[in-house]
Amino acid sequence: MVLAFSLKVVLGSLAFAIFWVLAVFPAVPFLPIGRTAGSLLGAMLMVVFQVLTPEQAYDAIDLPILGLLFGTMVVSVYLEKADMLKYLGNLLSWKSKGAKDLLCRICLISALSSALFTNDTACVVLTEFVLKVARQHNLQPQPFLLALATSANIGSSATPIGNPQNLIIAFQSKISFGSFLSGIILAMLIGVVVNALILLCMYWRLLSIQKDETDAAVDVVAEEDEMIPLKTVWSRDRLRDALSIESSEHKEDLTIRWKVMLWKSCVYLITIGMLIALLMGLNMSWTTITAALALVVLDFKDARPCLEKVSYSLLILFCGMFITVDGFNKTGIPSTLWDFVAPYAQIDHASGIAVLAIVILVLSNLASNVPTVLLLGGQVSTLAAANSGADKKKAWLILAWVSTVAGNLSLLGSAANLIVCEQARKNPHLGYTLSFWSHLKFGVPSTLIVTAIGLVLIR
């Protein structure tokens, strides 16, 4: 695409620059309105500056992606209500064999839960459990928080529902859930193992320190039972009534417990059914929405409290982002810049894959991974399709893998990293700040090594 009319180029670039600044730095002093409002502002400016017509702006919004995102968020809410992630959290301390064993468990559980429930959801829930276990064993939380955030990002790369950019890739590429999973699963598993090994190497001495676990339990107050002499003599009738009341209450508690267990089992079965349907190649958006509504009906309660937990601001953010990025593409700047890179980014040889990976890695950390996928998706696909259909699919999977793992490079590279950092800082019992430089020191080597290994294994 040639560059559009020069005024449209300038105004479209200005609108995208405003969106980019607010997306990357949501609390800028001169306009602290946040990411969601920033995306809407960018979208509005694209229409006001006549880079897009109102009709083109509405057409730019991808409703199937929004439907899939909404459905997965509702399913995640009900899974959390059914204590699914709580059970996963309990596995962290179950028969633990020390700090190194705990770190490996965090890597595995974080990766698997992120692939099924999205990386942001897994980090929101599991951060509390990680801090709790670290506090109980009087352990330095830094390596465990890094394990949680980085493994969540790597694990989310394996499925189309693992993170937002994969949702976009799955719909634009028309790659089925099963094909997406089979293409990246090996790279994801090896990547999680390698990431854990790097963590163990960097923090081996810290993880080997044996501390007195009794120091971590200072706040636990033991209460002694007092023997209260029985001064009242119960009559037979009163004793019989008391036993009868106790028996009826026990039966009621047992009935309620069985109902809760049955409801939880149904939630898990519906979720498993949804995953099977996705693996069978059914429409991803309608499958997840159907599962979400089945859970709403099964709950047999007012769904408003659960639906209020859905991140509607994220859905609005995506709407604005779709419009803003589409307007920026209309200026012709992305395609013009891509024309310079394209001859060196052919995926039919190793050097071309390396150049493509570097471009995705840099853009994902400068412009965030979702806008990067929206900007590069069509260009990468068109370039690879010139060789073969297999290369086209591989190009989409490389884009999914690199843009996701790129989030581990720095603390600002992924929303999952920021969630872990904020959750740890605000924890009432163990407020801990994961610094930018401590994350970068681990993130750079881990990201480069894991990304390179994955590029070799993606099929």
Which tens digits make up the pLDDT trace of 430-451?
666 677 788 889 999 999 999 9
The DSSP 8-state label assigned to residue 343 in this structure reads: G
The DSSP 8-state label assigned to residue 303 in this structure reads: S
Q: What is the pTM of this model?
A: 0.78
pLDDT, one tens digit per residue, over 356-374 is 999 999 888 877 788 888 8
Identify the pLDDT of residue 228: 38
Identify the pLDDT of residue 217: 39
143: how many CB neighbours lie within 10 A of its CB? 24
Identify the pLDDT of residue 214: 39
Closest C-alpha among 40, 60, 38, 44 to residue 11: 44
- The mean per-residue pLDDT over the stretch 298-302 comes to 90
Name the least confident of 6-20, 237-251, 321-335, 387-401. 237-251
Q: Is the dihedral of CA 323, 353, 162, 381 positive or negative?
A: positive
Please give the radius of gyration of the chain, using alpha carbons only, rounded to the nearest integer: 26
pLDDT, one tens digit per residue, over 122-143 is 887 788 888 888 888 888 888 9
The DSSP 8-state label assigned to residue 28 in this structure reads: -
Closest C-alpha among 144, 139, 69, 140 to residue 105: 144
CA-CA distance, 372 to 365, in Å (whole number)?
A: 9
CA-CA distance, 321 to 330, in Å (whole number)?
A: 14
- The mean per-residue pLDDT over the stretch 9-31 comes to 84
Identify the pLDDT of residue 241: 61
288 vs 370, residue with greater confidence: 288
- The mean per-residue pLDDT over the stretch 296-302 comes to 91
Identify the pLDDT of residue 259: 85
Burial (CB < 10 A; 0-12, 13-18, 19+), residue 212, is exposed
pLDDT, one tens digit per residue, over 45-94 is 999 999 999 999 999 998 988 898 899 889 988 988 888 877 876 777 66
pLDDT > 90 in the chain, percent: 36
Do 111 and 188 touch, CB atoms closer than 8 A?
Answer: yes
- The mean per-residue pLDDT over the stretch 13-31 comes to 82
Band (pLDDT 50/70/90 cuts) for residue 215 is very low
User: Which amino acid belongs to residue 395?
Assistant: A
Look at residue 44 and tell me whether its pLDDT is greater than 70. yes
Band (pLDDT 50/70/90 cuts) for residue 428 is low
**Residue owning tokens 């596995």:** 91
31: how many CB neighbours lie within 10 A of its CB? 15
Identify the pLDDT of residue 31: 80
Look at residue 231 and tell me whether its pLDDT is greater than 80. no
Identify the pLDDT of residue 236: 56
